[in-house]
Copies of this chain bind each other. A is one copy, B any other.
Amino acid sequence: MNSCFKLEIKNHVAELSFNRPKKANALNLESWETMQDIFLALGENPEVRVIILSGEGKHFCAGIDLETLMSSHHGDSDCQAKKNLHLRAFIKKLQGSISSIEQCGKPVLAAIHNGCIGGGVDIISACDMRYCTRGAYFTIKEIELGLVADIGTLQRLPTIIHPGIMAEMAYTGRKVFGPEAKEIGLVNNYWESKDLMLENVRKIALQIASRSPLCVRGTKEMLLYKRDHSVQDSLDNMANYNAAMLVSKDLMEAFEASMLKREAKFED
């Protein structure tokens, strides 16, 4: 396990956390690569049914490590076009790292305390659900740094919060704290402390882990499909999907459990 992250798997729940507390969990190049590898592995691990993403130390995540950013762009070409091509490849690489959260096929719950800054916002925008502490804050720091936020915030956050607030956050970089974050739909809920938050997020995670893994996976796939397609295309896709996937052992188990008033137990 790479030292940039901490990972523990228990009761079908993977708890993953940023683990560079001295750097406020800023992500260097190695972290971006590792993150993609981890989500790929978690996606393929049948034991894992749901993932919690949090941060060790003082902050949730301080975004891209600026040194990384500054050092990685150049390439050594003396051709401007090739330099730009490399820069584009670099941006796409970071985008791909974040997209792995969506592609892992399992629900990802972000549990955020204190600072969620810049690249941190890009990351949580790709999670399925967001929860935080009262004191947590969210800021699209890029605008302060003379950057257009390019690895997911401007593409995914508008699908999550109202566009007026979206624009204000993106143009000003102002901090949004826990209670406002809940009001605008950025998080589902907030709690007074990190411990309390984690306790509650774990409960939600366990409940999801108790559901049919096949159905949870199918649900994630359908929600992502809908985000980018029309209602009719999504209905058709859903019908195709369930023509193949509806009749499952999980369905039988759920039916039997419901008849016998016992809890259902699903295989990995």
User: CB-nearest residue of chain B relative to A267?
Assistant: B79
CB–CB A243/B148 < 8 A: no
In chain A, positions 71-111 with a C-beta closer than 8 Å to chain B are 73, 78-82, 84-85, 87-88, 91-92, 95, 99, 107
Copies in the complex: 6
A196 part of interface (Cβ distance < 8 Å): no
Per the 8 Å Cβ criterion, residues 158-175 of A in contact with B are 158-168, 170-174
Which listed residue (B185, B231, B249) contacts A81, Cβ 8 A?
B249
| Interface pair B215/A147, CB less than 8 Å apart | yes
Q: Whole-angstrom distance between the alpha carbons of A242 and B142 in the complex?
A: 13
CB distance from A117 to the nearest CB of B (A): 13
**A110–chain B nearest beta-carbon distance, Å:** 9
B81 touches A244 (CB 8 A): yes
Q: Shortest distance in angstroms between A125's beta carbon and chain B's nearest beta carbon?
A: 10
Residues B204 and A254 in contact, CB atoms below 8 Å apart: no
By the criterion CB–CB under 8 Å, are B249 and A154 in contact?
A: no
- Residues of A115-152 at the interface with B, using a CB-CB cut-off of 8 Å, are 128-130, 142-152
B residues in contact with A204, CB < 8 Å: 168, 172
CA of A236 to CA of B237, assembled, Å: 9
Question: In the assembled complex, which residues on chain B have CB atoms less than 8 Å from the CB atom of A166?
Answer: 223
Collect the chain B residues with CB atoms within 8 Å of residue A227's CB: 158, 163, 230-231
Query: Contact at A237–B239, with CB atoms within 8 Å?
Result: no
The reply to whether A207 and B87 form a contact with Cβ atoms under 8 Å apart is no
Q: Are B254 and A219 in contact (CB under 8 A)?
A: no
Known contacts A143-B211, A162-B185: A249-B148 contact under CB 8 Å: no
Residues of B within 8 A of A237 (CB): 236-237, 240
- Known: A81-B250, A170-B223, A171-B208; 6 extra A-B contacts, CB below 8 A, are A81-B246, A87-B244, A107-B171, A144-B264, A172-B207, A228-B231
- List 30 A–B pairs whose Cβ atoms lie within 8 Å, in order of A's numbering: A80-B80, A81-B244, A81-B245, A82-B248, A85-B214, A91-B243, A95-B235, A95-B239, A129-B168, A143-B212, A144-B254, A144-B258, A145-B255, A148-B241, A148-B242, A150-B242, A151-B235, A154-B226, A155-B222, A155-B226, A155-B235, A156-B231, A160-B163, A161-B162, A163-B223, A164-B185, A165-B188, A172-B207, A227-B230, A237-B237
Residue numbers of A with Cβ under 8 A of B are: 50, 66, 70, 73, 78-82, 84-85, 87-88, 91-92, 95, 99, 107, 128-130, 142-152, 154-156, 158-168, 170-174, 184-188, 204, 207-208, 211-212, 214-216, 218-220, 222-223, 226-255, 258, 264, 266-267
